[in-house]
Structure 1
Amino acid sequence: MARVVRFYQHGGPEVLRIEDIDLPPPGPGEVQIRVKALGLNRAEALLRAGNYIETPALPSGLGLEAAGVVETVGEGVNDFVPGDAVSVIPPQSMARWPAYGELVTYRAGLIVKHPPSLDWQTAAAVWMQYLTAYGALIDIARLSSGDAVVITAASSSVGLAAIQIANKVGATAIAVTRTSIKKQALLDAGATHVVVLAEEDLVERLSEIAGAQGVRVVLDAIAGPIFEPLAAAMSKGGILIEYGGLSPEPTPFPLAAVLGKTLTLRGYLVHEITGAPEKLEIAKAFILEGLETGALRPIIDRTFAFDQIVEAHRYLESNEQFGKIAVTV
């Protein structure tokens, strides 16, 4: 028997239940992991609430990131043995491959031996944030030295990962945040500039930073009314990559800026990387090298115990965190 988290109806954090279930042994090509820590993601709150891109059959498990020790391996698995310290690449379906449990099973292709210098909480906080930021900034936008990139929702785990990746390749990271509460923390985390929406005009401030040529790359998780000023501050031929929709308000289409500057507006999901084996291997090498050199360093805001999963989800939805929320198992 192993304890897992499931929900039987969509709703708030209170619908999450911890249950004991019998977990079958891993099948061919699969690895079973004794989980030590989980990394929480907003996508899990969306799935629980019934607002995610995936609609699971109920009851459903959930979770995209875990780290732990290999318990046993299925037939045909040669790269892992019991006792290996590993972390999990986010699967394309968390209902099919849920991470919230004491014991979880994944395809071997979704398992990584992370650097031994990482503790369990940090190892569980790696792959969703860095793969998301890498896919947008490096694989799609080809961010490089001399570029400037605007990063909204900058204090999220993906936002902080994007700041670190921008610094790693020599680009200028411009963080956008709602209030000044997290401004100094963002500067300490590596942002070259921080724009505070409650206190500054976004277009004017970005023009001051980037000059008349504008900003080539924007990584946005918000959408809504911010879309127009972001487009207005971009350079000719720039690219705006949208990977979220945190704003509850409608998103206007910035027609004049798109036409006048020949902008590219690009929707993006991390599945574009995790579902493409060749791209995933390149991304893993980039991220592992960054972890080993210290250029990439996950920031853990707060850690909860497994029995506190409801409280952890409440905190996840509070928007108070700076970086990743971890859960120890």
Structure 2
Amino acid sequence: MTRVVRFHRHGGPEVLCIETVDVPPPAKGEVQIRVRALGLNRAEALLRTGTYIETATFPSGLGLEAGGIVEAIGEGVAGFAPGEAVSIVPPLSMVRWPAYAELATFPAELVVKHPPELGFEAAAAVWMQYLTAYGALVDIAGLGRGDVVAITAASSSVGLAAIQIANRIGAFPVALTRTSAKQRALREAGAAHVIALDEEDIEARLAVIAGASGVRVVFDAVGGPAFEPLTAAMSRGGILIEYGGLSPAPTPFPLFNVLTKSLVLRGYLVHEIIRDPVRLAKAKAFILDGLSDGSLKPVIARTFPFEEIVEAHRFLESNNQFGKIVVTI
């Protein structure tokens, strides 16, 4: 019998409960993990509330990231042995392969042997954030040395990953955050500049930072009214990659800026990287190299024990975190 986190109806963090269930052995092509740590993502809160791109089937499990030890190997799986430390590339379906459990099973192609010096907590905080940022900045935008990239929701785990990746490439990351409260922390995390959305003129600040060339890449998780000043500060032929919609306000289409600057506005989900073996292999190699040389280092906001999963989700939704929330087992 294994403890798992499930929910039987949509709602707030209080609908999450720890239950004991029988977990079957791994099927063909699967690897079963003894989980030591979980990385929390906003997607899990959206699934819990019924507003995610995937639909829960009750009772539903959840969770996209884990670090742990190989417990068992399914038929046809090679390259793994029981007892090895591994971490998980987020599956396309967390309902089918939920991570919130003491014992969890995943497709073998999503199981990764990470650098052992990471430890389980950091390993559980790797793949969603770095794959999301890499896919947008490197795979799609082709971010290069000297490029100015504006990163919204910069204190999130994905935002911090984007800052690190930009620095690794030699680009100039400009962190955008709601207020100046996290300004110092963002500078210490590697941001070349920090802009407080609620306190400053975004377009004017970006114009000073980027100069006549403008901002070539915008990596945005927010949408809303900031679309207008962000696109106004972009370079001709620049690209804005939208991977979220945190703003409750409508997002205007900046027609004039798009037309006069020949801008590219592109929606993006990390799934397009995960479901493409060639693109995923390149992403994994880049991330593993960065983890090994220290240029990529997960930032842990706070850890919670497994028994406090409800409190962990409450903190996730508080928006007070700086980096990744991790749950240990």
TM range, smaller chain: over 0.9
1:218 aligns with 2:243: no
Structure 1 residue aligned with 2:326: 326
1:52-74, CA deviations, whole angstroms, 9 ceiling, x for partnerless residues? 01112111100000000000101
Q: Identity of paired residues, percent?
A: 70
1:212 Cα deviation after fit: 2.2
**Aligned-residue offset at 1:213:** 2.2
- Structure 1 residue matching 2:266: 3-state secondary structure: strand
Task: Name 2:56's counterpart in structure 1.
Answer: 56
Q: Secondary structure at the match of 1:316?
A: helix
Post-superposition CA distance 1:182-233 (Å, at most 9, x none)? 0000000000000111221000000010012210000000001111111111
Q: Describe the superposition over 1:283-321 as per-residue Cα deviations: whole angstroms up to 9, x where unpaired.
A: 000000000000000000100000000000000000000
1:299 aligned onto 2:296? no
CA distance in 2, matches of 1:24, 1:198: 50
2:244 aligned counterpart, secondary structure: coil
Aligned to 2:278: 278
Distance 1:179 1:280 in 2: 35
**1:119 partner amino acid:** G
2:326 aligned counterpart, secondary structure: strand
Normalised TM-score (structure 2): 0.99
Per the TM alignment, residue 105 of structure 1 is displaced from its structure 2 partner at its CA by: 0.4
Larger displacement relative to structure 2 (136-145 or 192-201) = 192-201
Following the alignment from structure 2 to structure 1, what is the Cα–Cα distance between the partners of residues 86 and 7?
A: 27
| 1:230-249 correspondence runs (5 A) | 230-249=230-249
Matched with 1:156 is 156
Q: Which amino acid aligns with 1:76?
A: G
Residue pairs, 1:1-329, within 5 angstroms = 1-329=1-329
**Residue type of the alignment partner of 1:4:** V
2:164 is paired with a residue whose SS is: helix
Q: Tell me, in whole angstroms, the C-alpha distance in 1 between the residues paired with 2:106 and 2:177.
A: 36
Q: What SS does structure 1 have at the residue aligned with 2:122?
A: helix
Secondary structure of 2:222's aligned partner = coil
Letter in 1 for 2:89: I
One-letter amino acid matched to 2:44: E
Unaligned runs of 5+ in 1: none
The one-letter code sitting in structure 1 at the alignment partner of 2:59 is P
How far apart are residue 76 of structure 1 and its match? 1.0
Whole-Å separation in 1 of the counterparts to 2:59 and 2:229: 42
What does the per-residue CA deviation read over 1:235-262, in whole Å, with 9 as the maximum and x for residues that have no partner?
Answer: 1000000000000111100000000000
Q: Secondary structure at the match of 2:52?
A: coil
SS in 2 for 1:322: coil
Letter in 2 for 1:155: S
Gaps of 5+ in 2: none
Which whole-Å CA distance do the structure 1 matches of 2:242 and 2:300 have between them? 24
| Partners of 2:290 and 2:211 in 1: CA distance | 30
> For 2:240, what is the secondary structure of its paired residue?
strand
Moved over 4 A (4+): none
